[in-house]
Each structure stands twice: as structure tokens, then as C-alpha cells.
């Protein structure tokens, strides 16, 4: 079983702690994504699993084997690099066969496995082509085939779609997910693209400054962020800070600027709180859709309107408080300068523990 256990991993570059005491358990057959901004340590962590960077401290196990002391070629991992790393002087088939030849696999077996790998990535008839004859998406498929042909226990992918255009990224991420699930292979996927991570992952680790901010399913990360950073990095969010002015049972009234919001919390008046409220959890009220029972409401004015196809994004001013709202209303129904009433369900507000 190719589960991966990372325990107490550290890596320092000069004065920078690139990976700072990271421990993870990645389950067999899981597509696990390391998500975070540039410089957060996600690629360094991946390269330590691959064997291209040595940890200063900690251990890495795949199944029952400790691999952090092994050279890369003995770790049974396949790597897909950000820049593809395709050899220009080899044909497509030659690129895919490279790892097998290095492992001294017999030629008939190489031919069989190369053909099977090219079939997996739908490049059956491209074996004799040269890299310069391929598109970016095809080059990415070659890189995938080369990683998979050695039949690794673990597939490692470092920003594999960052060089593709938006349409192709969506197509290729679906292909990667399809292959990973059909093969049942354990995969670690590195990206800074939040949509990519949410779309294909079984679980996600949000990283910041070398440490783990939160580990969870895409749904957990999005709807129940553990920290303000996780909330802000994954999706658009209204991240707000205020002071509790009154208790109302299991809720409090939180003063933010000149507004009072109803928030699910059990803290005393005078306490400071940070909250996160997703734009889609704010509703524009109309005469036909009054405020639901138990919800809070705010009087506001539309400051800006952005049409995004299936959604319209609004910037709304409620007194001195600025909020972002996502609505399915069309731009013909909401206009800059309109006075509106916003409703929100307090249960959908994420409250972070006081510092």
C-alpha cells in the first residue's frame, strides 16, 4: 500500500526555513494537493519526497519503506515537472522509454510498456514524432506518460499545468484526475491555483511560510477555513474584524466599522473577533424574497458591478463597511448606485478564535 507518511520534516536554505516541521499522512490512492503562494515551501516539500532535495530533519515513508535516505531512482516515484523536461533530441517514444532503458528493462518489454503508456495519455500514434512537432498539451501528456511508464508507487506533479492556457489547463487537469483514479495511484500535486486544487483533489494542504495552515477536503477548506489566511487564499472572501458588543444566546452582535453583524460565537462583550463571509452567502433581498427568519440584514448601496457570465460580482458599501457579493442576478437587474438590502445566514459565517 503506497500511503505516504511525512514526519517532522525541516529544510532550511540559509536563513530561510523553507519547510518547517511538516507532518502529513497521505492515504493510498489519494490525490493530495499542496496549495499555497510562491515561496511557501510546497515545491521544496515535493522535491524532498522525490529525492532531489535532502531534508535537514525528519523522515519520509512510503508504505513500510523509509525513502528519505534513498537516492531518487530507488524511491519508486514518477515526477512530472513544471517545464515538462522533455529531451528535444529524442522522439516521443524515446522520451517515454528513457526511464525504462535506465532500469535495463528488456527491449520487448519497453516497446509494450511505451505503447501502453502512450495509449493511456491518448498519444498512440505520436510515438515517432519529435517534441518540436507537439503542442503544449501534447508535451504535458508525454511528460505524464514518461512518469507513468515506470509504474511508480507514487506520482509527483510540480505545477504541471502552469505553462498551458486557461482552456487547456481545465482539460488537462481532468485528464490527470482520470488517469490517477483509473490507475489507483497515490499522487502529490503542487499548485498555486486554488480552482485547480479544489477541482481535482481528494484532500488539500494549504501552506504558508513553510508550515501547514490547514489540511482537509476541498469542501472543508472552502466552507470551514481554519485560519484567516486559508480563507483568503482559497476563493474570494469578506475577511472582517470587529468587537463584540452584546450576547444573544449562542450568538453575538459584532461591531465592524459602523455596522452590527449577527455572528455565531460564545464570547464576552469587548472581545475582538475575526470572521469570514463568502460573497455567495450574502443575498440581495427583494419584495418577493423577504429576509428569512433568523438571518441578519444590512442596508447598503451598490458601488461596482462586474459581469462574470454565470455570476455577477458586486462591491457594496454598508455605511463604512465594504462587502463583496456574488449573485446570479444579471447586470440588467443590479446597477451601480442602487440602494439594496443584504441578508446573510449567521450559520454560514466562519468565526476564528480570538488571538
CA–CA dist 221, 217 (Å, integer): 6
DSSP string, 136-175: HHHHHHHHHHHHHTT--SEEEEESTTTTS-HHHHHHHHHH
Q: What grid cell was written down for 147? A: 512518469
CA distance 105 to 290: 70
pLDDT band at 355 (very low <50, low <70, confident <90, very high): low
CB 155 within 8 Å of CB 185? yes
pLDDT of residue 178: 92
How large is the average pLDDT for residues 256-268? 93
Distance CA 66, CA 58 (A): 11
Segment 313-348, tens digit of pLDDT: 999 999 999 999 998 877 677 889 999 999 999 999
CATH code reported for the domain at 238-352: 2.40.50.100
DSSP tag of 134: S
Instruction: Answer yes or no: are the C-beta atoms of 278 and 348 closer than 8 Å.
Output: yes
Digit-coded pLDDT (tens) for 68-124? 999 998 999 999 998 888 999 999 999 999 999 988 999 999 999 999 999 999 999
Question: pTM for this one?
Answer: 0.92
Nearest by Cα to 140 from 182, 69, 92: 92
Instruction: Enumerate the domain spans of the chain.
Output: 4-233, 238-352
d(CA 285, CA 292): 10
**Residues facing 248 on adjacent strands:** 251
DSSP code for 289: B
Enter the DSSP assignment of 132: G
**Overall fold of domain 4-233:** Rossmann fold (3.40.50)
Closest to 154 in 3D by CA, of 217, 65, 84 = 65
Report how far apart, in Å, the C-alpha atoms of 251 and of each of 10, 239, 282, 343 are.
41, 19, 18, 16
Amino acid at each position: 500500500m503506497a500511503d505516504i507518511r511525512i514526519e517532522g520534516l525541516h529544510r532550511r536554505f540559509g536563513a530561510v526555513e523553507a519547510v518547517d516541521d511538516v507532518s502529513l499522512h497521505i492515504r493510498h490512492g489519494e490525490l493530495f494537493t499542496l496549495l499555497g503562494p510562491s515561496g511557501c515551501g510546497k515545491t521544496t516539500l515535493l522535491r524532498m519526497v522525490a529525492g532531489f532535495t535532502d531534508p535537514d530533519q525528519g523522515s519520509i515513508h512510503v508504505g513500510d519503506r523509509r525513502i528519505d535516505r534513498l537516492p531518487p531512482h530507488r524511491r519508486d516515484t514518477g515526477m512530472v515537472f513544471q517545464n515538462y523536461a522533455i529531451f528535444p533530441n529524442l522522439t516521443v517514444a524515446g522520451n517515454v522509454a528513457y526511464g525504462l532503458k535506465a532500469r535495463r528493462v528488456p527491449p520487448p518489454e519497453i516497446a509494450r510498456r511505451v505503447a501502453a503508456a502512450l495509449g493511456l495519455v491518448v498519444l498512440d500514434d505520436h510515438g515517432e514524432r519529435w517534441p518540436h512537432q507537439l503542442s503544449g498539451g501534447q508535451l504535458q501528456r508525454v511528460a505524464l506518460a514518461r512518469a507513468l511508464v515506470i509504474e511508480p508507487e507514487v506520482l509527483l506533479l510540480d505545477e504541471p499545468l502552469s505553462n498551458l492556457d486557461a482552456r487547456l489547463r481545465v482539460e488537462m487537469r481532468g485528464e490527470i484526475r482520470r488517469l490517477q483514479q483509473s490507475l489507483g495511484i497515490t499522487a502529490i500535486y503542487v499548485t498555486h491555483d486554488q480552482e485547480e486544487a479544489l477541482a481535482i483533489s481528494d484532500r488539500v494542504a494549504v501552506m504558508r511560510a513553510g508550515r501547514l495552515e490547514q489540511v482537509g477536503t476541498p469542501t472543508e477548506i472552502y466552507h470551514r477555513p481554519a485560519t484567516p489566511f486559508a480563507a483568503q487564499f482559497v476563493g474570494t472572501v469578506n475577511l472582517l474584524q470587529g468587537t463584540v458588543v452584546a450576547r444573544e444566546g449562542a450568538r453575538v452582535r459584532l461591531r465592524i466599522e459602523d455596522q452590527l453583524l449577527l455572528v455565531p460565537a460564545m464570547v464576552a462583550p469587548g472581545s475582538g473577533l475575526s470572521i469570514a463571509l463568502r460573497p455567495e452567502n450574502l443575498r440581495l433581498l427583494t419584495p418577493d424574497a423577504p429576509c428569512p427568519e433568523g438571518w441578519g440584514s444590512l442596508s447598503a448601496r451598490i458601488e461596482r458591478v462586474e459581469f462574470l457570465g454565470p455570476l455577477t460580482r458586486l462591491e457594496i458599501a454598508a455605511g463604512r463597511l465594504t462587502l463583496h457579493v456574488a449573485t446570479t442576478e444579471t447586470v440588467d437587474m443590479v446597477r451601480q448606485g442602487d440602494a439594496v438590502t443584504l441578508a446573510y445566514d449567521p450559520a454560514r459565517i466562519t468565526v476564528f478564535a480570538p488571538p
